[in-house]
Amino acid sequence: MQLAETQQVLMSAISKKMQNQPFTLAGFLADIAHIPVFLYGAGAFGRQMFRLLAQNGIRVRGFLDRKAQPGQMLYGVPVYSPDSVDISQEERKRSLLIVSIVLTLEERMPLFQSLNKLGFSQVVDGQSIRAREVPFSAACYEANWSDSELTGKICAAAELLADGASREVYARNLRAHILRNYDDYMESTDCCQYFTEDVPLAKGFTRFVDCGAYIGDTLTQLVKKFGNVETYVGFEPDCESFGRLASTAAALRHNLSQAFLYPCAVGGANQMASIMLAEGSSALSESGETSVQVVSLDNVFVGFAPTFIKMDIEGAEVAALHGAENVIRTSRPDLAVCIYHNISDYFEIPLLLHRWNPNYFFYLRAHSSCTMETVLYVTERRKQQ
């Protein structure tokens, strides 16, 4: 996609939003309030979806899971095998089935087709519900899209994107957010999250900093793809996840020259903060029930120059980048920054990093459905056209 087309798509979406009532999560929930709802997947995503629906007064009829055990219950509702005889064909036909597992593009359509064959005619991707929850920024849910300064930033960030694939992700996924309609979005294919081969890196993965390390899933992938790693630094504030991260690093110790693990969140300053615990998506929140230590990378790294910084920290990316300004300015690492937690991150983060280093090139890839797992890749090396 060319720059002019990218900007035209987004300005058209803003104009349409000004004229029409956008789709909302509240509207979607009102539409499903009086029909049976099933959740496909009884894992972390499914449990998260159950809590969201319950908080909004939506009763879940049950879970579907291929690993369901006879008589299994979760949150007081049954967990069925997808082909269970306990769900009649008539009920399947009039129910809404929300797929609450994360799938690749190749996995998604066969699953939806198999669920249709089992009698579920109304099947939706749970990621579309997650996407409707994404706020404009940490400070507000929706923005004044007619504001000229805002539209100027949107167009300016589009100019920074280094290839047509990035501009298409930017245009289609930001349009989906503007209209709150996730029927049309861009999902990148044939690329591995954080290690996508079609984005050229200037520094590479020699000294890898993992902000939001979770249980070591990115570390495992890093070693699998590239073998030995000189230095790995992982930050994970959730105590249980940190324990599993430590176990992962220990199991991979022969592939790591050195590893440093911190049971901390990453932010703009050294401080204590509250965290809302959730499996795979713990986030800093004033309403959080647990206090954690927050550190800035500028204070952690003295005499250490990372070559690659990955950030997936549930909406705290802008603050964490400010806390790493000196590291970024002096070491000029490659970066992979998740921008899907706040809509404004699509344009605020590339504009910020461009101010710090005008030699950076910017690439966008979306690694899941409905704008989820959209990552901004930043490097001083330009892709050959």
Question: Long-range contacts: 342-345, Cβ < 8 Å, 24+?
Answer: 342/134, 342/135, 342/136, 342/137, 342/138, 342/315, 342/317, 342/318, 343/134, 343/135, 343/136, 343/137, 343/143, 343/174, 343/177, 343/178, 344/136, 344/137, 344/143, 345/137, 345/317, 345/318, 345/376
Q: Is the pLDDT of residue 385 over 80?
A: no
pLDDT tens, residue by residue, 81-138: 999 999 999 999 999 999 999 988 889 999 999 999 999 999 999 999 999 999 998 8
Q: Which residue ranges make up each domain of the chain?
A: 25-132, 185-379
Q: Which residues lie across from 229 on neighbouring strands?
A: 256
Point out the least confidently predicted range of 10-24, 128-142, 192-206.
10-24
For 43, residues 6+ apart whose C-beta sits below 8 A from its C-beta are: 65, 100, 101
Instruction: Provide the 3-class DSSP secondary structure of residue 289.
Output: coil
Q: What is the pLDDT of residue 216?
A: 98
Structure-token pair, residue 288: 């959080």
Classify domain 25-132 by CATH architecture: 3-Layer(aba) Sandwich (3.40)
Instruction: Provide the 3-class DSSP secondary structure of residue 107.
Output: helix
Q: What is the pLDDT of residue 24?
A: 76
Q: Is the pLDDT of residue 240 over 90?
A: yes
Mean pLDDT along residues 158-185: 96
pLDDT tens, residue by residue, 170-179: 999 999 999 9
Q: Quickly state the pLDDT bin for 191 (edges 50, 70, 90).
A: confident
The Cα 376–Cα 311 span in angstroms is 10
Q: Is the pLDDT of residue 205 over 70?
A: yes
Asked whether the beta carbons of 262 and 288 are under 8 A apart, the reply is: no
Record the pTM.
0.92
Asked whether the beta carbons of 372 and 188 are under 8 A apart, the reply is: no
Higher pLDDT, 256 or 274: 256
Q: Quickly state the pLDDT bin for 144 (edges 50, 70, 90).
A: confident
Q: Quickly state the pLDDT bin for 284 (edges 50, 70, 90).
A: low
pLDDT tens, residue by residue, 52-85: 999 999 999 999 999 999 999 999 999 999 999 9
What CATH topology corresponds to 185-379? Rossmann fold (3.40.50)
Mean pLDDT along residues 315-339: 98
Q: Quickly state the pLDDT bin for 383 (edges 50, 70, 90).
A: confident
Q: What is the pLDDT of residue 226?
A: 93
Mean pLDDT along residues 253-279: 90
Same fold, 25-132 and 185-379: yes
Closest CA to 3 of 153, 152, 157: 157
Q: Is the pLDDT of residue 143 over 90?
A: no
Average pLDDT, the chain: 93
Asked whether the beta carbons of 346 and 317 are under 8 A apart, the reply is: no
